[in-house]
Chain A
Amino acid sequence: MQRSPDDLTLSGDEQIAGEADRPFARSLPWLLLVGGLVGFAAAFTLTVEKIALLRDPDYVPTCSINPILSCGSVMRTPQAEVFGFPNPLIGVAAFAALAAIGAAMLAGARPRPWFWAGLQAGVTFGVVFVHWLIWQSLYVIGALCPYCMVVWVVTILLFWYVTLVNLGRTRAGRLLAEYHAVALTAWFLLIIGLITVRFWDYWSSLI
């Protein structure tokens, strides 16, 4: 396969200058900013709802729509406080940071590799945690919380594109970048499929 200039492998400072050539490097800051803000809004709402629930145990959260889509039952579980404090607090801090990172990159910041490594570690923790929560929500709690699902989507998106940017022009990176939307769609369809199967009785009763 013939190599074109953008396949160049560079080193040191040139690599930082050549960052814009990595797939999605230009769109990632926007994704970080917008995704960070959306995730922040969801986590913040969950925190406010949690406080309302603590003040009044009888409070019905705004997202408790039916027996399946029900924040109230999810928010009362031990899984909602895995680390001894309400999970959304992590989201409030982490998503705010991601949005700020996106804004900084849009303003011209060119982070060093160690910063990218840190970002990767953060989103990886996030995506693992989110999948554990999906598992718990589906198979242990048996209810879905709409705001939490917003967080699932945003976390997966951010993990996916941060990873693609970090993989850069490696063989795996290029292959995944080529089919990025396919992989992402398959990923989301898998989760939607699990939700469909798990609550089939309920969904089929709606029609």
Chain B
Amino acid sequence: MAFKSPQNTTASGARAKIDAARAQDRRRAARKRNMTIVASLVAAFAVIVAVFLAVDPGSGPDGDTLAAGESRYVRSDSHRLTTAADGKVTLVEFLDFECEACRGMYPLVESLRKEYEGRVTFVVRYFPLPGHFNAERAARAVEAAAQQDKFEIMYQRMYQTQTEWGEKRTPADEYFRGLAQGLGMDMAAWQKAYEDPATLARVKKDVADGQALGVQGTPTFYLNGTLVQVQMQDDLKKAIDAALAG
């Protein structure tokens, strides 16, 4: 196997030169071959991804396209407090659990949804404002509860306890955990959902819809896709009555 020491050193020197040149050519050819295959691989990969993207554009959690029966106001996974039998009138509220104005509206919304039970669909969309330190946490806590079919009770608890945890600059994780525990939830599942990036993505999807609709603050109400200006306590009720009559 081994290359035995050559007799003639000049011949071996010339030979070494030729071999070196050959080796260089080989390396060059190998590099070129490498680059060609690498480029083809990358191109093929890019084409496959592009094709899939073209076939399946934006079916994602905060996708821009809407599935059948969905709108920016109401998605298929949006939480409904009550559902109208005929589905003709829908009131959507973009809310922030840490916003005092939302808590101010809460008793009215509660009484309205009892009054119009079965006739008006009440939809809740998350819209935690960045200025509220625990608002996003609260939304995640409610969403985590929703995964155990406890959306409504957790939604109520948030407003009932807002003064306990709101307007503070410290994380309220433990407090929300306590709320969930008090409602007898499966705490392992709740905790997992609370920390799951998918839960946060679900909240942000609502926010994205709100932003696309031009929601500026909370609470913002849409009745059948029309912004309702709520100045007086009666405004909301009047708008609902008008929609039901019309």
A residues near B, CB below 8 A? 3-10, 57-58, 67-68, 70, 73, 76, 142-143, 178-182, 185-186, 189, 192-193, 196, 200-207
Contacts and interface: CB of A to CB of B under 8 A. Distances in A.
A66 B52 CA distance: 23
Contact of A179 (B16, B37, B57): B37
**Which 5 residue pairs of A and B lie closest in terms of their CB atoms, listed nearest first?**
A205-B60, A201-B60, A67-B197, A181-B34, A67-B201
Contact of B19 (A5, A181, A201): A5
30 contacts: A5-B3, A5-B15, A5-B16, A6-B23, A9-B1, A58-B170, A67-B198, A67-B201, A68-B197, A73-B197, A142-B196, A142-B197, A142-B198, A179-B33, A182-B37, A185-B41, A196-B49, A200-B52, A201-B59, A201-B60, A201-B61, A202-B61, A202-B201, A204-B56, A204-B58, A204-B63, A205-B61, A205-B64, A207-B57, A207-B58
A73 B204 CA distance: 16
B67 to A, nearest CB: 13
B1 to A, nearest CB: 6
B200 interface: yes
A185 B38 contact: yes
With a 10 A CB-CB cut-off, give which of B34, B37, B197, B200 has the most chain A CB atoms.
B197
Nearest to A177: B30
Contacts of B42: 185, 189
Contacts of B167: none
B189 interface: no
A193 B45 contact: yes
Main SS at interface, chain A: helix
Nearest to A180: B34
Given A6-B23, A193-B45, 5 more contacts: A5-B3, A7-B3, A178-B34, A185-B42, A202-B60
Interface in B19-66: 19, 22-23, 30, 33-35, 37-38, 41-42, 45, 49, 52-53, 56-64
B149 interface: no
B19 A8 contact: no
Contacts of B56: 200, 204
Contacts of A186: 41
A96 B195 CA distance: 34
B204 A67 contact: yes
B55 to A, nearest CB: 10
Interface residues of B, number: 38
Nearest to B38: A185
Contact of B200 (A67, A76, A179, A185): A67
Contacts, number: 88
Contacts of A6: 19, 23
Contact of A192 (B15, B22, B45, B197): B45
Nearest to B16: A5
B118 interface: no
Nearest to B36: A182
B23 A179 contact: no
B173 to A, nearest CB: 8
Interface string B2-24: 11000000000001100100110
Given A179-B34, A192-B45, A205 B198 contact: no
Given A67-B201, A142-B196, A204 B57 contact: yes
B171 interface: yes
A185 B42 CA distance: 8
B197 A143 contact: yes
A5 B38 CA distance: 30
A9 B1 CA distance: 7
